[in-house]
């Protein structure tokens, strides 16, 4: 908006564009937030939001969708990776790995 005002000061023919922009901004202020956002690209709607704010309201499955298993496990220590697994399953997997190693 400031650039447009500078254009008007340099050349008055830009005055109509400047006034139109002011009227449009005034009209937008009167709209409900959802209406103001309509028509914006998703990237523009999310600009300025912290990652935590962008993820708020998403279920864990939605947050993980599209991530490869390696990415989902990155940062977990072995104990955390094994948590919740049946010990018999872990033993069977270890036996199978030992067979493959010999």
Tens digit of each residue's pLDDT (9 = 90 or more) over 17-28: 878 887 777 777
**DSSP sequence for 15-75:** HHHHHHHHHHHHHHHHS-HHHHHTTS-HHHHHTT--HHHHHTT--HHHHHTT--HHHHHTT
Which sequence spans correspond to the domains of the chain? Answer: 1-40
pLDDT at 20: 82
Mean pLDDT of 31-35: 74
User: Exposure string (b/e) for 48-63, b if CB count within 10 Å is 16 or more?
Assistant: eeeeeeeeeeeeeeee
pTM beyond cutoff 0.85:
no
Residue 91 pLDDT > 90: yes
CA 9, 10, 16, 20 torsion-angle sign: negative
């Amino acid at each position: 908006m400031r650039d447009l005002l500078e254009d008007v000061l340099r050349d008055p023919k830009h005055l109509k564009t400047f006034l139109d922009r002011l009227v449009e901004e005034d009209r937008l202020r009167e709209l409900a937030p959802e209406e103001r956002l309509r028509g914006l690209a998703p990237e523009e709607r999310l600009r300025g939001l912290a990652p935590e704010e962008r993820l708020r309201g998403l279920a864990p499955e939605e947050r993980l969708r599209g991530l490869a298993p390696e990415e989902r496990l990155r940062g977990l220590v072995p104990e955390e990776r094994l948590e919740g697994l049946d010990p018999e399953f872990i033993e069977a997997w270890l036996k199978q790995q030992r067979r493959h190693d010999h």
